[in-house]
Amino acid sequence: MKLERKLAMRNLLRNRQRSLLTSIMIVATVSLMILFQGLSDGGHRAMVDIGIKMGLGHVLVYQQGYNDDPSLEHLLVDAAATGQQLQQSVPELTHMVRRLHLNGLIQAGANGVPITLAGVDPGLEVQVSRIADRKSMTAGQTLAELPRERSGNGLPGIVIGEQLARNLEVGLGDRVTVSVKPKGSSDLSREAFLVTGIFKTGMQELDAFWAELDIADAQRLARLGQEVSVLALYLDDVEKVGPVAARLSSQLPAGKYEVLRWDQVAPELHSAVMLDAAGMYLLMVIVFVVVAAAILNTILISVMKRTREFGVMLALGASPALVVRVVFWEALFLALFCIALGGALGYAGHYHFATEGLNFREVFGTTLEAGGVLLPDRFFSFIYPGKLAFSLLFVLLLTLLVTIYPAIRASRLAPVEATRHG
């Protein structure tokens, strides 16, 4: 082993207690950093995932102008053809659903509530949407579970939120009237529906102001043909949203379509995730400061206690550069050891939560809501390898950075220090 590495390593081992204390501090912070990073990013992914499943989608394709004026004037007319084109040009696609959104009034007896009506393909929607999911149903059936033939009195089915049902004072099997303003007419179009299902998502705006029905019923109600409001695309990985949206924007004919990402359509969800991520970054900064201070402290003490030793080396003709290298190796060995151990421990923790998941209700005793989205009870730790590598590398760089001062201090000692005794 080269002299400087030998000196560095043996000095760390010689001052085992000091090295160990510093190591514990750094190992703990590094492993907690990884654990928090994994849980935080896992939580964000869960939030995004839930948001996307609340009647949204990863990438949304609209007719040009729909987002400025979401009226019946800006509907996708040739949704079927566009859909086919998208199926072929987006290999990342796992699901694609069409939806028709209508503003309407729902009435039962003397009660009336303005709501959003979502006309959906029941069979497809159940695969991508939390609203249409069996698990969200508190009573009745999902639209997909409804028999094809209409029930006895021949009314089409509608699924409404739990809060809405309470506000309307209706229950399963009750009759409601839905009115919308059809395209190109000022008279209301009105139809009766049967409440066949009641859902609960935990999101106020869905549970109190949302109803889902078969897209064919919605189109008929609004006196439309095959027009839809949106084609919602679901991808195999949320990380691919950006590239796919960008690609589609340039591929699809300009001026005809509008391609938006989920975070553009639901900015409040996006900012909730970002805010939380900002908190995470703050935590990381604290971690970095702690690690830097711990290493600076150890190395500085170690250098000051060895004034004589470094003085002797310099007196015997060692170059200042050699002394600098000894100090740097010491810091590097300490940092590498701690990063490796902390990394392994942190990753083990992450692995546990990545496979077992973290149960919010168990840990916090309550459900969590962020950005208007109810977080799932259980979510899974997730680590972006690049981000992890960057943080670990940053800890390493930080170590070397804070070592500059003690190293230079040691190398600038006067060789006469060697002759002082006492």
Partner 1 sequence: MARPEAGKTAVLDAPGNASSTKKATTMANTSVIRLEQVGKVFEQKKQRFQALKQIDLTVESSEFVVIAGPSGSGKTTLLNLIGLLDQPSSGKLFFNGRDLSQCSSTELAQLRRDQIGFVFQAYNLMPVLTALENTEMVMEFRGMAADKRRAAARKTLTALGLGELMDRYPDQLSGGQQQRVAVARAVAGEPMLVIADEPTANLDSRTAESLMDLMSQLNREHGITFIFSSHDPRVISRAKRVISLCDGSIVSPVSQAVEFSHAV
Out of 317, 365, 385, 386, the only residue in the binding site for partner 1 (CB under 8 A) is: 317
Q: Kindly report the CA angle at 192 between 186 and 194, in degrees rounded to 5?
A: 145
**Interface with partner 1 by CB under 8 A: which range of 68-76, 172-180, 282-290, 304-312?**
304-312
In the block, tokens 């830097």 appear at: 292
Is 316 an interacting residue with respect to partner 1 (CB under 8 A)?
yes
Nearest to 113 by CA among 201, 205, 194, 197: 205
Hey, is 151 helix, strand or coil?
coil
Q: How far is the CB of 418 from partner 1 (least distance, A)?
A: 6
In the block, tokens 């095959």 appear at: 226
CA separation for the pair 118, 102 (Å, rounded):
7
Out of 77, 315, 344, 401, the only residue in the binding site for partner 1 (CB under 8 A) is: 315
Backbone angles phi, psi at 193, to 5 degrees: -130, 165
Backbone angles phi, psi at 157, to 5 degrees: -85, 155
Tell me if 31 sits within 8 A of 343, measured CB to CB.
yes
Is 396 an interacting residue with respect to partner 1 (CB under 8 A)?
no
Is 305 an interacting residue with respect to partner 1 (CB under 8 A)?
no
**Interface with partner 1 by CB under 8 A: which range of 22-30, 156-164, 238-246, 315-323?**
315-323
Out of 41, 207, 258, 309, the only residue in the binding site for partner 1 (CB under 8 A) is: 309
Strand pairing report for 93-108 and 230-235: antiparallel
**Interface with partner 1 by CB under 8 A: which range of 115-123, 214-222, 236-244, 414-422?**
414-422
Out of 318, 327, 373, 413, the only residue in the binding site for partner 1 (CB under 8 A) is: 318
Is 11 an interacting residue with respect to partner 1 (CB under 8 A)?
yes
Tell me if 82 sits within 8 A of 60, measured CB to CB.
no
Q: Which of residues 14-33 bind partner 1 (CB under 8 A)?
A: 14
Is 312 an interacting residue with respect to partner 1 (CB under 8 A)?
yes
Is 275 an interacting residue with respect to partner 1 (CB under 8 A)?
no
Q: Is 186 exposed, middle or buried (0-12, 13-18, 19+ CB in 10 A)?
A: exposed
Is 315 or 344 the residue whose CB approaches partner 1 more closely?
A: 315
- Spatial neighbors of 165 by CB under 8 A, at least 6 apart, are 171, 195, 198
Provide the residue count of the chain: 422
**Burial track 384-422 (b if 16+ CB lie within 10 A, e otherwise):** eeeebeebbeebbebbeebbeebbebbbebeeeebeeee
Residue 236 tokens read as 């195999």
Q: How far is the CB of 292 from partner 1 (least distance, A)?
A: 26
Is 10 an interacting residue with respect to partner 1 (CB under 8 A)?
yes
Kindly state the number of chain residues that form the binding site for partner 1, as judged by CB under 8 A. 23
Residue 311 tokens read as 């003085």
Is 314 an interacting residue with respect to partner 1 (CB under 8 A)?
yes
Q: Which of residues 155-184 bind partner 1 (CB under 8 A)?
A: none
Is 387 an interacting residue with respect to partner 1 (CB under 8 A)?
no
**Interface with partner 1 by CB under 8 A: which range of 133-141, 241-249, 296-304, 413-421?**
413-421
Out of 5, 18, 175, 308, the only residue in the binding site for partner 1 (CB under 8 A) is: 308
Side chain identity at residue 76, one-letter code: L
Is 6 an interacting residue with respect to partner 1 (CB under 8 A)?
yes
Is 94 an interacting residue with respect to partner 1 (CB under 8 A)?
no
Is 61 an interacting residue with respect to partner 1 (CB under 8 A)?
no
**Interface with partner 1 by CB under 8 A: which range of 62-70, 216-224, 393-401, 409-417?**
409-417
**Burial track 243-254 (b if 16+ CB lie within 10 A, e otherwise):** ebbebbbeebee
Is 416 an interacting residue with respect to partner 1 (CB under 8 A)?
yes
Out of 87, 94, 103, 319, the only residue in the binding site for partner 1 (CB under 8 A) is: 319
Contact residues for partner 1 (CB under 8 A)? Answer: 3, 6-7, 10-11, 14, 308-309, 312-319, 322, 414-416, 418-419, 421
